[in-house]
Amino acid sequence: MSTAHIEKIDYDAEAPGSTPSSPAPPPPLSVTLGQPAPAGMFAFAGTVLLLALYNLNAGGVDAPNVLVGMLVFAGGMAMTLVSMWEIARGNTLFATCFLTFTTFWLSYSAVLIPSFGVMEAFAATPEQIPKALGIYLFVWFITISCLIPGVIGKSLLFTALLSAGAIAVLFLACGMYTQTKAVSIVGNCLLLIMSALAYYIGVAGLLASDPNGSAFSLPLF
């Protein structure tokens, strides 16, 4: 028999009458992209902690401008990346929370950066600065409060975290607006509690996200 009449066998061809098979779907991005939340929580916790310490005049520091680096790079850039990461993973709730606080940190850093001219605008009326900042913080109290319904019933830790944050910002707003130091101290103490909760959530999430398992774990509830 001539080799010209020998049909080439197609090993990839489907058998007659069979249904063509479709390729397996790719794994979801929530699996392939990993978990960015621990990094976001550490950036958030560090920024909150430094803000509270400076507000409480820790070490006798009165000028908070060293905070600008944390506000821009940790609270701003790092948490923006985490927010985009969470959006890619389809986690709208976490993405919204991280991005909301990102805008808070960046907008507050603009107040402290001289080139933005925020403080210079009040050169003729410096007595208006506390009231302006108080109103600014009160707006953020409302904004942070809007995040709380999204976590109620899903996580006690995140509910406590956002609740502490909202109440802290409310105290800070009232203390700033009325220039009442005791009220501001209460707000900054609540920020310390908020920072501790964020560090705990970050460590617990980091331990839980290790695919090889960790030496120990912390409960997330």
Least confident of 13-27, 33-47, 49-63, 167-181: 13-27
**Domain contains 8:** no
Share of the chain above pLDDT 70, in %: 86
The predicted structure's pLDDT at residue 141: 98
Task: State the average pLDDT over residues 75-83.
Answer: 96
**Domain contains 213:** no
Q: Which residue has the higher pLDDT, 158 or 22?
A: 158
**Domain contains 97:** yes
Least confident of 37-51, 54-68, 128-142, 172-186: 54-68
Q: How distant is the alpha carbon of residue 73 from its chain centre? A: 13
Sign of torsion over alpha carbons 47, 44, 68, 163: negative
Both ends of the chain: CA-CA distance in Å? 75
- Name the band, by pLDDT with cuts 50, 70 and 90, for residue 21: low
The secondary structure of 64-133 as a DSSP string is: -TTHHHIIIIIIIIIHHHHHHHHHHTT-HHHHHHHHHHHHHHHHHHHHH-GGG-TTGGGSS-GGGHHHHH
The predicted structure's pLDDT at residue 6: 39
Q: How many domains does the chain have?
A: 1
The predicted structure's pLDDT at residue 28: 56
Least confident of 9-18, 57-66, 155-164: 9-18
**Domain contains 27:** no
**Domain contains 79:** yes
Domain that holds residue 135: 34-118+125-208
**Domain contains 14:** no
**Domain contains 85:** yes
- Name the band, by pLDDT with cuts 50, 70 and 90, for residue 168: very high
Amino acid at 114: P
Average pLDDT, the chain: 88
CA distance 48 to 42: 10
**Domain contains 177:** yes
Residue 142 is encoded by which pair of tokens?
């409302």
